[in-house]
Structure 1
């Protein structure tokens, strides 16, 4: 048994069809995971920068009506900007129809809650895929390992003399399947935890902004009632 026959490319090329399919599935899952990791990392980075920029503008003392008009009605609104626009639009619509503060504030709160839910779905997009790869890949690799070990026992049963050379290729391809399963799972679970934590933190900031904005509108309505 020479070194070439035990090299990883040779073992993969000569592995059983089932093990090759397992390895192909794990490689595809790993590549897709890295695509999702980079895509979500960039998306969350943009969301953090956009939130910081909008909050700086919001708390700079700008008039809320001017800020609302500056946001394009048909643009791609995200994050706190989306929550602000949804809440303020509902505030203007209801304030023009009724003088009851509780009715206006209830509508504003409901509108901002819907906007927040959409942002939650946007920030958590594709994270389920990473969680699936993280949890399923070791078991898929284990299936390839079990299949390789079964092949080694079959080789032993058919061999007139049991030697290490008889079972070594089967055991080696089984271990490759295990290693590939871990190679796909470990980055997926690490970055799932990291990206999920970042998304949760950002959603908490959105929720804090919504509460502060709600308090501003509440004070605004109280001021109107006091002067009326």
Structure 2
């Protein structure tokens, strides 16, 4: 039997009230098992990014509960949730979120040091992970010296180096050309199928859907098909 890593029940998000009320996400159940590469697809405004933000703890739901790795994240203290996120989550966002003054190897290594890994060991793992994603020759380059595809590979390496149980990716290929987009998707799929991580990827790019092990389609704040 598959191990359930994310379970959401009756998850909903609304903004405003009365005539100004907007249902960003209607009551939704959602689940992810270990090793799945789940693609959540739909047009802009369909609620897919809202769903991702709530199951990853970045956004508080209006209603419903989220259990991640057996823990109700709504009932955790801030410190306990921050520790859960640091130890078990990896994030890949479209905006890169890289620190401009740090090199590629420093971007990855600093996250590992926050996990308590000694600096030299963190550097070795960072270098190995960056090499794995094709950036072995770019370890000492800063973001201003990298292309968009290379920046996103740094972000992927930063997530993978932590050896997370869950990777959350929000439109990770939106700023990339088709070649780089396929490569980023390949790396995320490998994290699921070869390393046993659970990957939840939000996208509106139809070229990526074929790579998923499971597809969830959303529209107007609701799940249409799973």
Query: Is the TM value for this pair above 0.5?
Result: no
Rg larger for: 1
More helix by share: 1
TM-score (norm 2): 0.20
More strand by share: 2
TM-score (norm 1): 0.20
